[in-house]
Amino acid sequence: MSVATIESLDHEGRGIAHVEGKAIFIEGALPGETVEYSSYRKRERFEQATTTRVIKHSAQRAEPRCKFFDLCGGCSLQHAELGAQVAAKQRVMEDALKHIGKVPVGSIYPPIYGPAWGYRYRGRIGIRMVPSKGGVLIGFHEKKSSYIVDMTSCEVLPPHVSDVLIPLRRLIASLSSPDRIPQVELAVGDDRTVLVLRNLLPFTAKDKALLLAFGEQHALHMWQQPGAPETARPLRAGEPDHLYFTLPEFNLALKFKPTDFTQVNVHINRLLVRRAMQLLQPQPGERIADLFCGLGNFTLPIARSGARVVGVEGSAALVERAAENARENGLSDLADFSVANLFEVTPESLRALGALDKMLIDPPREGAIALVKALGDDAPRRIVYVSCNPATLARDAAVLVREKGYVMRGAGVANMFPHTSHVESIALFERL
């Protein structure tokens, strides 16, 4: 076995060491530790490895709470104390802005964090029929593998969902075609918890009776999804076809379907929306754009301030949901929505939105490079950028600062996915 001393963590939560000039990325190791490691991939300039023994422990090392941590690919940082996780994510963001974007950051905002366990209100859990392992397996994927972990509990799922994993396994095994149900999607709203079973074959009448009885027993609402996400529907006729989550600080309730995109962590989402509004400072009389608006998570808090807001999103279904949420929250007069592919935005299509005082951008991992390049001389004076990928945030920040005349006033992280390497961040840009 080889030995190395860990210098820092990379963007995937792996320890970084250098041995004879070569970078070694070591899973399960923390900065300051001396570890034995075993390499599973060797290249000329780097190796990827796993920790086999910790010789010198970090004071920030924690005992993983989940008994499946060593196998499951759902979490990568349970071996690090929560504060160390947040600090590592802050460094990943700062390093990306410094080395990729090469932009100065005015201030580092205090990190946003909250409950570390039972936080995952959204998720896709794999299902496999494996006779050699006793039948139906339910769980997340193994690390670096397409195999399903044989999970009987999960510490990041809400307890009432973790508690039904074993009964759910027995339920799936009792159905007519258990090998034709590849996944179950979890959606927890303020009002109900939905399990959506992806069924490649129609359920029989007996299947439906078993599923509904299971739902009643465990206070769950059972749905089926025979095709694409838009085919998801309740098994019980007449049951509401949506859930909702609330933003109490803004007196908002937002409807969503179980297969819609919403943030995984409702607690952090509320704090992130608060931070976004503090940075954006929407005022009555202003005209603001919310781009990649989804179903209105940021749009409606902006409208609640009295500003007029235009939300733009690529998904027609989400735009329809956003408009419905505006109506039901009494904000239709202040919020307008439209469908557009923001990955192909041009200066002309951006100007068509009209004069804008401010802008909020919340893109997916790909970032918003076409959008920031399309900004012209009439661009809004203030932009709040919410990011789920520090690399694309840094890339887009470089365009805003070096080409479009903005200054980055500050940036900070939100621990949306505790115990994982996922980095959510928020940044403020102002035009000189």
State the CB neighbour count (10 A cutoff) for residue 355. Answer: 8
Per-residue DSSP letters for 370-420?
HHHHH--TT--SEEEEEES-HHHHHHHHHHHHHTS-EEEEEEEEE-SSTTS
Q: Minimal CA–CA distance to 100: which of 392, 388, 343, 372?
A: 392
| Per-residue model confidence (pLDDT) at position 344 | 96
Residue 234 is predicted with a pLDDT of 97
> Domains of the chain, with CATH numbers?
2-61 (2.40.50.140), 89-115+265-431 (3.40.50.150), 122-240 (2.40.50.1070)
3-state class (DSSP) for residue 314: coil
Print the SS3 string covering 83-125: HHHHHHHHHHHHHHHHHHHCCCCCEECCCECCCCCCCCCEEEE
* pLDDT score recorded for residue 423: 96
Q: Which of 75, 190, 173, 189 is nearest to 127 (CA)?
A: 173
The reply, when asked if residue 293 is annotated as ligand binding, is: no
List the chain pLDDT tens, one digit each, 432 residues: 799 999 999 988 999 999 988 999 999 999 999 999 999 999 989 999 999 999 999 999 999 999 999 999 999 999 999 999 999 999 999 999 999 999 999 999 999 999 999 999 999 999 999 888 888 999 999 988 889 999 999 999 999 999 999 999 999 999 999 999 999 999 999 999 999 999 999 999 999 999 999 999 999 999 999 999 999 999 999 999 999 999 999 999 999 999 999 999 999 999 999 999 999 999 999 999 999 999 999 999 999 999 999 999 999 999 999 999 999 999 999 999 999 999 999 999 999 999 999 999 999 999 999 999 999 999 999 999 999 999 999 999 999 999 999 999 999 999 999 999 999 999 999 998
Number of other residues whose CB lies within 10 A of the CB of residue 152: 13
Residue 154 known to bind ligand = yes
Cβ atoms 243, 255 nearer than 8 A: yes
Q: Which residues are registered as beta bridge partners of 4?
A: 35
Cα 387 from Cα 381, distance rounded (Å): 19
Measured distance CA(2)–CA(227) in Å, rounded:
49
**φ, ψ (nearest 5 deg) of residue 251:** 55, 50
Instruction: Determine whether the annotation assigns residue 341 to a binding site.
Output: yes
Q: Give kind and range of the element (H or E) at residue 22.
A: strand 22-27
Q: What is the pLDDT of residue 95?
A: 95
pLDDT tens string 333-349? 999 999 999 999 999 99
Is 389 assigned a ligand-binding role in the annotation?
no
Question: In sequence order, which residues have a C-beta less than 8 Å from that of residue 211 and are 6 or more positions away?
Answer: 171, 175, 197, 203, 222, 235
Helix (H, G, I), strand (E, B) or coil at 175: coil
The pLDDT, as a whole number, for residue 282 is 98
Name the residue with tokens 């997340």: 140
Closest CA to 276 of 301, 244, 255, 309: 301
Task: Quote the CA–CA distance of 69 and 315 in Å, as a whole number.
Answer: 35
The pTM for the full model equals 0.94
356 C-beta neighbours (distance < 10 Å), count? 21
Instruction: State residue 72's pLDDT score.
Output: 95
**Residue 388 annotated to the active site:** yes
- Residue 66 marked ligand-binding: yes
313 annotated among ligand-binding-site residues: yes
Sheet containing strand 406-414, edge to edge, reads: 107-108, 406-414, 424-431, 382-387, 358-361, 287-291, 308-313, 335-339
> What is the structure's pLDDT at 133?
82
Q: Is 269 annotated as a binding residue?
A: no
Virtual CA dihedral for 396, 423, 11, 427, nearest 10 degrees? 30
Across-strand partners of 112?
414
| Residue tagged active-site, from 388, 394, 416, 427 | 388
